Structures are given as structure tokens and as C-alpha cells.
Structure 1
Amino acid sequence: MGSSGVRGSRVSPLSVAGWLGLAVLLVGAFIAALGALNQTVYGSSSFIERYLSAIANDDIAEASTTPGVALDEAELAELGLPANVSTAMLRSGVIESGPEDVRIMSDVARGDGTHTVTASYRLADAIVQSSFDVRPIEPLYGVLNRWEFAVSPLAVIDVTAAHNPTFTVGSLTLDTRALKSGEELAAFTQVTPYIAIAPAVYEFSFSSELLEAVPVTVQADASARTAVTVDAQPTPAFVERVQAKVDGFLAACATQAVLQPAECPFGIEIDDRVTGDPEWSIVTSPQVTLTPGESSFDMPPTEGVAHITVEVQSLFDGHYYTLDEDRTFTLALSATITPDDTIDIQLK
């Protein structure tokens, strides 16, 4: 009777080699794909492109949380800024325009692993070229490159709010006194630094019933400090309201039946005997003009004309006559706007 059994199968050396070769190819393909991703999607150039694109899309939350963008207390101190410097402008709806038509001009690797990425882009009507230094940080999943700015691209904008503490940038209205106290609060002109996303273009302005500032466009370049003045000037409505107060004041003065109306800019001295009540009228009120001074809007000494009619007896020969003449006078004043938007006038 013959023996029976299972003969063990043997794997061909060629099959083993084939599988090993396939594994090597797969690993190589994976490494190549990983390298391609790290050169493109996860590359330093793409990092810059994503940051600039976030600004262009007004996604300021994404842009401001990009690694390396936020400034710590030491960096603020190095820039001469207080730790509580305002970041109120770091929000959507503030920029006028962001970088468009972005092109990476160069991406230079350094020996320490940092890269200098130079990008060209359009800001409003200007073509701008900027260089950004970035450095690697802990890789994603241990294999995909991640980057951060070696120098924050945030800008500092020093806003001078001339003659009015508030200003408008984009859809946001800010008060330059927000972080101030004491005597600083009373300053007629306020200067306050603001952290701003960059690169971007901003438009500063102000408009109210009483004050208006001509819009000013500012280009905030990356890692740069710039300044802007929001110059608030009196509106026609402001001038009209002051004119009405002046006219009312002078009309009240004219009701005083005396030669020298009290606390009024006009009057007369007569050597003869006054025999009747003086009657005053205003022929011409001073025409109000307002220009900014050190602490208020000022009207320089401006001419007006009052008229007096009064019965008089001559002390020389006793005859009676009517004094009927115009009297020229000048009036100067300062005007300020109170917190409740009323106008306070002080005569000079």
C-alpha cells in the first residue's frame, strides 16, 4: 500500500522578488508624493499664498491666527508698543482691499531651514512686491511641512484723530481714547497706535452732523509702521448752529436799554445827558468761520455792526437831539462739542 501526504508548496524566488519590488515602488511612490506635497500644498510658498488669500477674502480671523502672525508682549515692547495696544482693527469689514493677483517670484531656502518667499501682488492700483521670512515648525502627522512667520507681517498704524477723538475705518468706528485715562482724555487731538493686518489698504474717514473728515487711503505694508491723520473739520451745519447762537446772543444784547449792554461786545460812551432809553439793533452779525485751534474750533475777531438810537441833551448849550448811528464791534469765540453733541461757546 502506497504512502500518501501533502507536499508543501514552495514560493518562487521570482515571486518574492516581485513583491519586494512592488513594495519598494509603493514606498518610493509614497515618499515621492509626500515630497511633492511638501513642495506644493505644504510648501513655504503655499503658506504665503494662503495667508495673502485670506486677507483678499477678508477672512481676517484666518489671517490673524496664521502661525507667527500674533505679536507677543516682548515683540510689542521691541516695537515700542504697550502690551494692551489696540487690536480692534483685526476683524472683517475693516480693510478696503487686500492683495490680488498674487504671484510667487522666488522661494529661497537657507541653511538653517528658513525660507525667504518673495511675492508680487496688486494692492488697489499699486503693484507691490514683498519678502516674507518663514521657518518650519512641528510637521503635521510628523511628515507634512508646517510653517510660521519668522517676523510677524502685522502692521502698526498710528492714527492721529485731529479735532475729534473718533474715526471710521471700513465699517468700524473707533474711539482713540478707549485705552487712555487722565489728562489724555481731554486732548483735542489724539494719537493712538493700532495693530492691523497687512499687507492691505485701509480707508480712514469720519462723518457726523457737526464734523467731517475727508477720506484718506493708507497702504499698510507687511511688518511696517505707517501713520494717518483723520482731520475732522466743522460741517456747514456746525457753522450754522454757531451762527444761530451768535445771532441769538447779539439779539439778547440789543434788548438791553443801556449804553453799555452787560457782557456784550458793543456799547457807547456819551458825554451829554441821556434823556431817553437807548434802543439797540443789530445791523450786521459777524459772519462765523471756524478753524481748529489748540483745544477748540475758533472764530478770529470778526467785525459786526450794531445801531443805537437815543435821545440826548447837550451839556454845552442845552439843545436836544437824537443820536442815531452805527457802532462797529468785533467778536471772537471758541466752540467745542460736548459729549451729548451740543455746542459749547466761549466768547473771547
Structure 2
Amino acid sequence: MAVIGWAALAMLVVGTFLAALGGLNATIYGSSSFVERYLEAIADDDIAAAASTPGVALDDAELEAFGLPADISTAMLRSGVVSAGPEDITIVSDVANPDGSHSVTASYRLGDEIAESTFLVRPLEPLYGVLHRWEFADSPIAVIDVTAAHNPLFTVGDLTLDTRANKTGDELTAFSHTAPYLAIAPAAYTFEYDSVLLEAAHVSVVAGAAEQVPVTVDAQPTPAFVERVQLKVDEYLTACAEQPVLQPAGCPFGIEIDDRVTAEPQWSILTSPQVTLTAGESSFDMPPTEGVAHISVEAQDLFDGHFYTVEQDRPFTLALAATINPDGSIAIQLK
């Protein structure tokens, strides 16, 4: 009877252990919990944990299969970059497939929108030989193609990046740049740029799992940029007006007088062209803009010899292209 009792107790212990193990594998170590933990890591801005989740990282062969460069930037795979992660996460379904993989569908709120994603996960070698482990069969990581228009820099979250990082040669001098970045997903990102001379409005994008998403960060001149160009234009025209000649060298205005000039011409700028800048193919351009110069000069009529004064307004137009030098100064090219 004692032997039977001990055997029954042993069976009860084993049964209890197997039941507990089954419960753990169905919950904490289950495929649904695996997906849920990944999404919660994004929500907690623990991007290091999310990025190191089995099956998230892409190897060289996978990058090549997706047509992505082997040196694609991983700079966005860090905390402080995501503007909104998945919240109110609910596992909608967990379907076991014949090959042992599971299709796990999760619903979540991303910002103001409710979204739903299905993740294919497959088993790994069990932990201690008994506890289930999983990996993503298809990486949920996203690719964001960033076009930094008219300025190579952009800001995402609290990180400022340079789209020229992996470029060489003539690519470095392009006016606009496009570069791909790996980004944890699903998540929302906000792109912008703000400096003394350039600013780009906020652009928000949602990167779904395994999606390739384009975004353009459109940098435009700030009022300070326009003011600095205006100052350079005014200085240039003032220097032109200081030349005591009828045709100031390298200047947009001048006059021809057939009679004899008897005194030095005196120029003044009545109206300076008002600078406006718009993005062109390779620079920020000011279209032909009108200004007015005034000349005052004494002359003698060659026919009858009488003296007279020329007082005349001389309209002119000025166009230019402005770029920002690597040292932050502004380069202007007159057109």
C-alpha cells in the first residue's frame, strides 16, 4: 500500500509539473506572449530590446534579397526616435500552422489610429529542452526612405542624421539626398529640421511591420536666411553705386550718354530688389526681381555746347542663386 501511495504521489507531482509546464508554454513562453512582449518593448521605447528580439535583425543575405545595401544605416534603431509606439495591445488570434509556426494577429492603437498586424513566428530550440522559444520568421523591421530635400540633415525624434553618411564623390555635393534607414516597426515617427538658416515642417509617418515607407523632409530658407541674402544684395548694390562711372563694372545698371560728361556720375539706390528664395535644382533661387537706381551727372551738349544735368531713374533686375557652404556661410551667385 505504501508503494502504491508513493507511486500515486509521484504521478501527481509529475502531472502537476507537466500541467504547469504546459501552462507556461501556453502563456509566458507562448507565441502570443512573444509577439506581445515585442510590441510592449516598442511602446516602452526600449528599442534595444525590440531590435534584439530573435528574427528582427536582418543579415546580409536578407538585405540583399530585399534590394537593400549591406551598409544600410541602423542609426534609428535606438530610444528617443519613435514618436509613438503601439498601445492597448490585444492578441486577436494565434493560429498554429502545419509546419509548427504560428500566425499571431495583434490589434493595437498607434497614435489616433487602430491598426492590426499579423506576425509569422516559428519555434526555436526549447529553453532547457522544455520551455518554448520563438523567433520572427519574417522580420517586422521597416525601412524608411528619407529624402532630405535641399539640405542633407534631418531630425527624427531627438536624433539628427546626415543622409550623406555613406556617400562619396559627386553624391556629397547634391542639393537633395535620399538614404534608407532601418526602423523598428510598427511605430510612428516624426521628421523635421530646424536651424538658423533652414527649417522643415514636421512630417509624421507610420511604419507598419515589414513596410518600406518614403518620407520627404523639405528644408526651406528661414527669414534669417532671406535677411542675410538681402544684406549681401544691398551691400553689393551699394558698392556698385559707389563707382563714379556711367557703367559700373559687374553691376546690373548703367547708362549711356552721347554727350561729354563733365563731372563724376553719382549713383544711388532708390529701391533695392526684395529677396525671395525658392528651392531650385541645385540652389535656393531668387527670380529676376526689379530694383531702381538713380543717376545724377553733369554733361555738355556736343552740338551747341550748353551744359545740363542728367537726373534719371534706371530700373534694373537682379536674379541670384544662394547656397550654404560647409562652414555655414552663404554663397551667392548672380544670374
When normalised by structure 1's length, the TM-score is 0.96
**Alignment-derived partner of residue 5 in structure 1:** none
Which residue among 256, 264, 268 is the counterpart of 1:277?
A: 264
1:150 matched to 2:140: no
Cα displacement string for residues 222-253 of structure 1 (whole angstroms, at most 9, x for unaligned residues): 00000100000000000000000000000000
1:295 matched to 2:282: yes
Which residue among 230, 234, 257 is the counterpart of 1:247?
A: 234
* Deviation at residue 272 of structure 1 after TM alignment: 1.3
1:344 matched to 2:297: no
Cα distance in structure 1, aligned partners of 2:207 and 2:326: 32
Cα distance in structure 2, aligned partners of 1:79 and 1:259: 66
Cα distance in structure 1, aligned partners of 2:190 and 2:309: 64
1:24 matched to 2:17: no
Which runs of 4 or more aligned residues in structure 1 lie more than 4 Å from their structure 2 counterparts after TM superposition? none
Q: Greater shift after overlay, 311-320 or 77-86? A: 311-320
Cα distance in structure 2, aligned partners of 1:186 and 1:130: 41
**Alignment-derived partner of residue 101 in structure 1:** 88
Cα displacement string for residues 7-63 of structure 1 (whole angstroms, at most 9, x for unaligned residues): xxxxxxx22111111111111111111011000000000000000000000101100
**Alignment-derived partner of residue 33 in structure 2:** 46
* Deviation at residue 316 of structure 1 after TM alignment: 2.6
Cα distance in structure 2, aligned partners of 1:162 and 1:315: 59
1:227 matched to 2:220: no
1:263 matched to 2:279: no
2:225 is matched by which residue type in structure 1?
F
**Alignment-derived partner of residue 165 in structure 1:** 152
Cα displacement string for residues 118-169 of structure 1 (whole angstroms, at most 9, x for unaligned residues): 0000111110000000000010110000000000000000000000000000
2:181 is matched by which residue type in structure 1?
Y
Cα distance in structure 1, aligned partners of 2:257 and 2:88: 81
Cα distance in structure 1, aligned partners of 2:8 and 2:97: 36
Q: Say how many residue pairs are matched.
A: 335
Cα distance in structure 2, aligned partners of 1:126 and 1:185: 39
Cα distance in structure 1, aligned partners of 2:219 and 2:175: 11
Cα distance in structure 1, aligned partners of 2:259 and 2:67: 72
Cα distance in structure 2, aligned partners of 1:216 and 1:165: 16
RMSD over aligned Cα, in angstroms?
Answer: 0.6
Cα distance in structure 2, aligned partners of 1:80 and 1:232: 28
* Deviation at residue 77 of structure 1 after TM alignment: 0.7
**Alignment-derived partner of residue 6 in structure 1:** none
Give the 3-state SS of the residue equivalent to 1:232 in structure 2: strand
Q: Greater shift after overlay, 91-100 or 309-318? A: 309-318
1:72 matched to 2:59: yes
Give the 3-state SS of the residue equivalent to 2:234 in structure 1: helix
* Deviation at residue 318 of structure 1 after TM alignment: 1.8
**Alignment-derived partner of residue 9 in structure 1:** none
Give the 3-state SS of the residue equivalent to 1:20 in structure 2: helix
Cα distance in structure 2, aligned partners of 1:299 and 1:78: 45
Cα distance in structure 2, aligned partners of 1:205 and 1:198: 20
Q: Provide structure 1 residue ranges, at least 5 long, that are not aligned to the other structure.
A: 1-13
Q: Provide structure 2 residue ranges, at least 5 long, that are not aligned to the other structure.
A: none
Cα distance in structure 2, aligned partners of 1:181 and 1:225: 24
1:158 is matched by which residue type in structure 2?
D
1:314 matched to 2:301: yes
Which residue among 169, 190, 194 is the counterpart of 1:207?
A: 194
1:110 matched to 2:97: yes
